[in-house]
Amino acid sequence: MKNTKVSIEEILTIISQIEGILNSRPLTPLSCDPTDLSVLTAGHFLIGRPITSVVEPEIIDTPDNRLSRWQGTTKVVQFIWKRWHRDYLNHLQQRSKWQFEKNDLKIGSFVLLKEDNIPPYKWVIGRVKDVIPGSDGKIRIANVQTQSGLYRRGISKICVLPIDNNE
């Protein structure tokens, strides 16, 4: 927030929105049905349902001197969301290149898709429908079913949720 002077109401608003962002993170699927893409979040334990918010226009690149007080607060929240969302997905996707074999992307895996410019509290959730190996036999591309349709993504844009399936 640099040298911006903020009121106590603005700080409390930013903190409560950050709390909502952190508690919107998908934890596990709500059911074993492969067609059901609803997830359990920490928000379910707090308020009994997923945490949502009104979608605001993206203003991260707008200069501070052109923003109202509310827009300044929104800009801070959007910046924190963008940074945390990217860091969290990168944490889920840690790959150790060439050191040992690890093939954790399987048909039916519950995944998060890396998408740019999605609003706070939103996650692109899906299930892997099929995998496409490269010429070396390693999985390079997957078809992922989401609520908005079927997407074909490279594995660099797919993060497997850390769910302990004892199948």
Q: Which structural domain, as residue segments, surrounds residue 111?
A: 1-162
Total count of domains within the chain: 1
Question: Which of the four pLDDT bands, split at 50, 70 and 90, describes residue 167?
Answer: very low
- Has residue 40 been placed in a domain? yes
Model pTM?
Answer: 0.82
What are the beta bridge partners of residue 146? 126, 149
160-167 average pLDDT score: 66
- Has residue 126 been placed in a domain? yes
Query: According to the model, what pLDDT value does residue 19 have?
Result: 94
- CA torsion sign for 106, 108, 112, 130 is positive
- Answer yes or no: is pLDDT of 5 > 70: yes
- Has residue 133 been placed in a domain? yes
- Has residue 167 been placed in a domain? no
35-59 average pLDDT score: 90
Q: What is the pLDDT of residues 122-132, one digit of tens each?
A: 999 999 999 99
CATH number, residue 21: 2.30.30.140
Q: Could you give the CA distance from residue 73 to residue 84 in angstroms, rounded to a whole number?
A: 17
- Has residue 115 been placed in a domain? yes
Give the DSSP H or E segment for 12.
helix 8-22
- Answer yes or no: is pLDDT of 81 > 90: yes
